[in-house]
Amino acid sequence: MEGNRDVSAQQTIRVGGEWRKAASGSTRDILDPADATVLAVVSEGGAEDADAAIAAAREAFDTGPWPRTPVAERAALLRRTADLLIRNREKIALLESRDSGKTLEEGRVDVDCVADAFRYFADLVMNESGGRVVDAGSDTVHSVVVHEPVGVCALITPWNYPLLQASWKIAPALAAGNTFVVKPSELTPLTTVDLIDLLAEAGLPPGVANLVTGPGATVGARMSEHPDVDLVSFTGGLRSGTEVMRAAAPGVKKVALELGGKNPNVVFADACATEEGFDTAVDQALNAAFIHSGQVCSAGSRLIVEESLRERFVTELALRAGRIRLGRGTEKAVECGPLVSAQQLAKTEEYVASALAEGAVLRSGGRRPEPSEVRPAEGYFYEPTVLDHCHREMRVVREEVFGPVLTVETFRTEDEAVTLANDTEYGLAGGVWSADPGRARRVAGRLRHGTVWINDFHPYLPQAEWGGFGKSGIGRELGPAGLAEYREAKHIYQNLEPRPVRWFAG
């Protein structure tokens, strides 16, 4: 038993404060991607489970205490949840590592970041809980804009950062006073199930946090279209995001989408003028492309390097990519885990094959590694792959692979670098490497991406908005805008001395 959940009975659906099985009785095996063995068995929910969870969230919003709970108490609950996450850090990090394939150390970093998100939104909501008095131009009018919770939120999350992506939605949703139903990815639901237990332990009233494990096509689709849902916040791929938006349209729901990316990492030769600069830029290009086996929405999967630097840079990069230690994420010396599923592995192989057929030159990787003691043959491992001589007509340059595949393009001028970097339908993130601060800022200013790193790649801050231009999404998570997504602004105009207006003579 965990919380009041009977793990052996696959009770992974949370409705109105109770754990239960899927109404259909169906279950799903959750696989360890390092060896394809069954890690856990969860309930495979369906539309009827989504309906039950939404009804519970609706009731908790309409008649329960949470939306009316003083903001200080809501913030305190968020802080208690952060403390509980840190108390359980090792356990959650291990579960996340085994479920998603990421290394244990990455799992620990994720738990810390999740706790930070809860603390950040606790602080933010305390600072931004007051209304805004508006000058109505009259002493006899009191005009104020207040912020209220949106209502019932449907939160749908992906498999690459299961708990982190959930926290970027759950923490602001709760801070603002909403109730929610969360649907984690069917591939990696385990830590989100644990988080719901921790929220209950922290004192969240029943019905505020509901969870349905199950597929996107049934549970996610139902959540997106359901008339009792007020907001859908989705993180995932472009195709599913488009379907969510379509399903939400007839109900004119608020929709927030965090979708994919095809993120450029632009390296000017001047960044590599010293040995130290060269080493740093190569090291960070590796990190940008291959951390978590490239299964990162902001992965720097397109290296755009100045032509004069290409040969030296790509040679060193390919050498170091070949040395990355692949294996089960929980093994100590391992630097990179497997892909999440057989499907993701097949997709990666298919992209590399198509790139080679289209003329790309393989500089490293391009295959599954030999099995070893830390790398079972059944695991979904793929070698970090560097593809040189790429161009935008290639699918591998245009489409998100979501695997350990880095493409190389080159430029001669600053304008050309900017054009290449912006030559994507996405616009999530990008990096610029230059020793010339003016050039770096100029290029950063011209990139059409939601986050731009100068001489760095990947860091994010909870207090800074995260999200995308173009087809990378709608809306922002984190930062003040990440809380605003979960609030409705209401203008209350109070006439202190009402009199007839006499617009109509009679």
Q: Which positions touch ligand NAD (CB under 6 A)? A: 156-161, 165, 183, 185-186, 215-217, 220-221, 224, 235-237, 240, 243-244, 258-261, 297, 400, 402, 428, 468, 473
Place of tokens 């965990």: 2
Place of tokens 């790429």: 390
Give Cα 501 distance to the centre of its chain.
Answer: 52
| Stretch (H or E) spanning 377 | none
- Tell the smallest beta-carbon distance from residue 474 to ligand NAD (Å): 11
Q: Using the Cα atoms of residue 96, residue 99, residue 100 and residue 104 in order, give the sign of their dihedral.
A: positive
Q: Which is nearer to ligand NAD, 156 or 195 (CB)?
A: 156
Selecting among 44, 96, 243, 258, the annotated active-site residue is 258
Give Cα 338 distance to the centre of its chain.
Answer: 19
- Tell the smallest beta-carbon distance from residue 475 to ligand NAD (Å): 10
Task: Check if the beta carbon of residue 214 is closer than 8 Å to that of residue 41.
Answer: no
SS (H, E, C) 338-352: CCCCHHHHHHHHHHH
Answer left, alpha or beta for residue 402, where phi above 0 means left and psi between -120 and 50 means alpha. left
- Tell the smallest beta-carbon distance from residue 485 to ligand NAD (Å): 13
Q: Which is nearer to ligand NAD, 243 or 388 (CB)?
A: 243
Q: Is 272 a catalytic residue?
A: no
Q: How far apart are CA 455 and CA 64, in angstroms?
A: 49
Q: Which is nearer to ligand NAD, 302 or 320 (CB)?
A: 302
Q: How far apart are CA 224 and CA 219, in angstroms?
A: 9
Return the closest-CA partner of residue 155 out of 115, 114, 192: 192
Contacts of 438 (CB under 8 A, 6+ apart): none
Q: Which is nearer to ligand NAD, 97 or 185 (CB)?
A: 185
Residue 383 φ then ψ, to 5°: -70, 140
Burial 396-424 (b: 16+ CB within 10 A, else e): bbebbbbbbbbbbbbbeebeebbebbbbb
Q: Which is nearer to ligand NAD, 141 or 474 (CB)?
A: 474
Q: Is 297 a catalytic residue?
A: yes
- Tell the smallest beta-carbon distance from residue 220 to ligand NAD (Å): 2
Task: Check if the beta carbon of residue 52 is closer than 8 Å to that of residue 153.
Answer: no
- Tell the smallest beta-carbon distance from residue 243 to ligand NAD (Å): 4
Q: Which is nearer to ligand NAD, 224 or 434 (CB)?
A: 224
Burial 158-187 (b: 16+ CB within 10 A, else e): bbbbbbbbbbbbbbbbbbbbbbbbbbbbbb
Selecting among 153, 297, 336, 390, the annotated active-site residue is 297
- Tell the smallest beta-carbon distance from residue 431 to ligand NAD (Å): 16
Q: Which is nearer to ligand NAD, 260 or 379 (CB)?
A: 260
- Tell the smallest beta-carbon distance from residue 233 to ligand NAD (Å): 11
DSSP-assigned beta bridge partners for residue 82: none
| 3-state SS, residue 10 | coil
Residue 490 φ then ψ, to 5°: -130, 130
Going from the C-alpha of 344 to that of each of 109, 134, 186, 374, the distances in angstroms are: 24, 53, 14, 20
Residues classed as catalytic: 258, 297
